Amino acid sequence: MDVNGHNIRKEFPVLGREVYGKRFVYFDNAATSQKPTGVLELHDRIYRESNANIHRAVHRLSAEATDLYEKGRSAVAEFINAQPDGCVIITSGATASFNLLAHSFVQRFVGNGDKILVSEAEHHSNLVPWQLACERVGAELVAIPIEESGEISLDKFESLLDSRVKLVSVAQVSNVLGIVNPIKEMVALAHAKGIPVAVDGAQGVVHSDCDVAELGCDFYIFSGHKIYAPAGTGILYGKRALLEEMPPFFGGGDMVGTVTFEKTTYAPLPLKFEAGTPNFPAAACYAPALEFADAVRKNAALRAEERCIMMFLVERLLKIDGLHIAGLPKDMEKKVPVISFSVEGAHPEDMALILDKMGIAVRSGLMCAEPLVRKYSENGLLRISLLPYNTMDEAEYFLECLDRTLKMLG
């Protein structure tokens, strides 16, 4: 696929629209990405030509749909460098993956008085499911502290790894701070004590060279819709040895071996965890979505351009009176283009509403990471998040509009 800075925007029809008669600038990519034509076309083609339920029937269309769904799974395996001792489970999103993992892992491996470690910077989907599961068995959810810079101190992390800790579950990249956590080092420290590690890759898979073998983690979770695939797609990658021991989360069709009223046996992995009809047209689109993402991540010029836009935005934002960026590492190589900030005297929701009227889509509020965001600002934050289809021209327009917004609110 030919991907370069000039033609990339043409792949995303929605970027060409206007909002309130203004040019449309989409800076809310950490919430969901826009979709390239390859994804839109396959999704449309499946419903037009190959729509039938998967894994069940012997007829031709079912075979075609099953084949496309399994090609989606293979594309994920290749993209994250899944290993033979691992398994790719397709879910409806990162939230579904975390609920599955929390429920089934805790039921099998965690008891009264045990601990699960997450960081202070987690999205609610890597926090609330653990709280629910821990409450059920009398376990404790412990937060790894985040430094003022937004980083995790490995010393502090190590000091929390005692014999009661049964799992560490931590974001590769925070959806608020955009800071890349030292996952490889954290995995090494946890594994030295026999503790498995789950990684929330919802943001990391988009912005880093995600390689589960390199990271060494036991579970890796992400949502397809943040990396160019349609909504309703998520992944739980896990080590087979752990997944084999975990009980199913959902029961229903497709996840069984034999069913009697006395006893049910379960299908082998991954189907044991894929009960019911999945969103197969969306999951099939992992193939074109990740083909696009792979072309982007291999394109050094495009990535350099994205980094340059991020650095330009950070430098210019820091010059604005009363503006505070949440989480700035000394080494900016550790930051991806997700920038959250507050401005004294300006409510983030007001700023977002005014920017919207200027055609700019940004995120405001607690960003599903309330404990973290409240550390930086009681009223929430404003977040801009980029993908390689964003341009320097858009960054300049955003800064101009932010300046006008702050004057209106000042």
Residues binding ligand PLP (CB under 6 A)? 30-31, 93-95, 123, 125-126, 171, 175, 200, 202-203, 223, 368
End-to-end CA distance of the chain: 47
Write down the least CB distance from residue 231 to ligand PLP, Å: 8
Q: Nearer to ligand PLP by C-beta: 30 or 110?
A: 30
Residue found by looking up tokens 């949440």 in the block:
326
DSSP assignments along 137-206, one per residue: HT-EEEEEPB-TTSPBPHHHHHHT--TTEEEEEEESB-TTT-BBP-HHHHHHHHHHTT--EEEE-TTHHH
Strands of the sheet with 165-171, listed across from one edge? 86-91, 234-239, 219-223, 197-200, 165-171, 115-119, 140-144
Residues 6+ apart with CB under 8 A from 399: 313, 316, 317
Write down the least CB distance from residue 179 to ligand PLP, Å: 12
Based on its alpha-carbon atoms, the radius of gyration of the chain, rounded to whole angstroms, reads: 22
DSSP assignments along 249-296, one per residue: SS-STTSEEEE-SS-EEEPPTTGGG--S---HHHHHTHHHHHHHHHHH
Q: How many angstroms separate the CA atoms of 407 and 195, rounded? A: 52
Q: How far is CA 248 from CA 262, 274, 407, in A?
A: 17, 9, 55
Write down the least CB distance from residue 290 to ligand PLP, Å: 16
In the set 210, 217, 285, 368, the catalytic residue is: 368
Residue found by looking up tokens 């503006």 in the block:
323
Q: How many angstroms separate the CA atoms of 166 and 161, rounded? A: 9
Count CB neighbours of 12 within 10 A.
20
Q: Nearer to ligand PLP by C-beta: 3 or 369?
A: 369
Write down the least CB distance from residue 31 to ligand PLP, Å: 6
Write down the least CB distance from residue 63 to ligand PLP, Å: 30
For residue 308, indicate whether it is catalytic: no
Write down the least CB distance from residue 406 to ligand PLP, Å: 27
Write down the least CB distance from residue 404 to ligand PLP, Å: 29
Q: Nearer to ligand PLP by C-beta: 207 or 297?
A: 207
Residues 6+ apart with CB under 8 A from 63: none
Q: Where are the alpha helices (DSSP H) in 266-369?
A: 280-284, 286-297, 300-318, 348-357
Q: Nearer to ligand PLP by C-beta: 94 or 165?
A: 94
Catalogue the active-site residues.
368
